[in-house]
Structure formats: C-alpha cells, structure tokens
Amino acid sequence: MDAGPVDATVPVVQVVLRKLGHGARAVVGRLVRAPRRGSVVVIEFPDGLHEYVTTPVRRVLRLAGRDVFYIETANSRYRLEVRERERAVAEGASR
C-alpha cells in the first residue's frame, strides 16, 4: 500500500492579505500556510526574515471564479488575494 515518498512542498504563491476594517495595512508576501479551518495563516515577508501569523481560522469563503478569499479568524476578518499563482507555479515546475 506504500506509494513511495510524497512531495509535501507547497507551491510558491504570492498573496496580499488585508485586514478588514478602518485603516488596516496590507501584508504582501509568500503564502507559507494556506487558510484552513482551525489552523493559522502564515505569510512570509519578501525579506525572508519575518512572518505574519493570524489567529486560528474559523471560516474561509471564496469568491466564485476568482482567487480572492475572505477569512474569519478568532478575532479578525481578512481579504486574501492571490497575486502571482501562474508565474510562481510555472517557476516551481521548471525547477
């Protein structure tokens, strides 16, 4: 039943995360951990030294036909927009 080693790497996806509300700033970077219920969302800044981590996710909604997600966490709401999936996936396939 063993199918051999499984490649558990996540493709590189550039995203913009905006906290919903008045005066919130955008976080731009690489998605390290995707939004899943009960887990946190992790975005790595372009410098590679810092990360933005949310509180645990309660709910994830996706706009139909678009790479835009609305995420509700334990104490905040966010809009996550995928910016460079095509180029990032193509670069990952060529490696």
Number of domains into which the chain is organized: 1
Tell whether 19 is covered by a domain.
Answer: yes
In a domain, 23, yes or no: yes
Q: Write out the residue range of the structural domain in which residue 42 sits.
A: 14-94
Q: What is the pLDDT of residues 7-30, one digit of tens each?
A: 455 568 999 999 998 777 899 999
Residue 4 domain flag: no
Which pLDDT belongs to residue 10?
A: 57
End-to-end, the C-alpha distance of the chain in Å comes to 29
The CATH code of the domain that includes 58 is: 2.30.29
Per-residue pLDDT tens over the stretch 40-82: 999 999 998 999 999 999 999 999 888 899 999 999 999 999 9
Within a domain: residue 47? yes
